[in-house]
């Protein structure tokens, strides 16, 4: 009886090891597919952002500029490196609404 239990425990351990290996492989496979999908999505987003004829500003929850496209830089008269990390009030305070409407048209 003890020998049968020992064999069964050994067999259960082998099966458990195989199941864990399959789960780890499948998890790794899904993670890689997810990473590739995120990368492709980000590339589409960046392309859309840069090719847009509209000004685009992405602000964080505190109002600091985190992303800006070329059109926004042209409209507001800043370089991209100057706008990043600025609080939106800093660059909007300097903008004359008439100048802004002229640069848009």
Q: Clarify whether residues 65 and 46 are in a common domain.
A: no
Which residues in the chain land under pLDDT 70?
Answer: 1-3, 95-105
Nearest to 66 by CA among 81, 49, 85: 85
Residue 75 near residue 104, CB atoms below 8 Å: yes
Domain containing residue 92: 53-105
Q: Clarify whether residues 27 and 71 are in a common domain.
A: no
Residue 91 near residue 78, CB atoms below 8 Å: yes
- 3-class state of residue 68 by DSSP: strand
User: 77-101: per-residue pLDDT in tens?
Assistant: 889 998 888 888 887 777 666 665 5
Q: Clarify whether residues 42 and 65 are in a common domain.
A: no
Q: Clarify whether residues 36 and 68 are in a common domain.
A: no
The whole-model pTM stands at 0.55
Q: Clarify whether residues 62 and 81 are in a common domain.
A: yes
The total number of structural domains in the chain stands at 2
Which one of 17, 34, 51 terminates a domain? 51
Q: Clarify whether residues 40 and 81 are in a common domain.
A: no
């Amino acid at each position: 009886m003890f020998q049968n239990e020992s064999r069964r425990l050994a067999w259960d351990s082998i099966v458990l090891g195989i199941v864990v290996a399959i789960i780890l492989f499948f998890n790794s496979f899904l993670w890689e597919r997810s990473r590739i999908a995120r990368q492709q999505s980000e590339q589409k987003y960046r392309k859309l952002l840069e090719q847009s004829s509209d000004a685009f500003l992405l602000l964080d929850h505190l109002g600091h500029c985190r992303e800006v496209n070329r059109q926004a830089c042209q409209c507001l008269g800043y370089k991209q490196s100057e706008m990043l990390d600025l609080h939106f009030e800093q660059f909007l305070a300097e903008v004359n609404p008439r100048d802004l409407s002229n640069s848009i048209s």
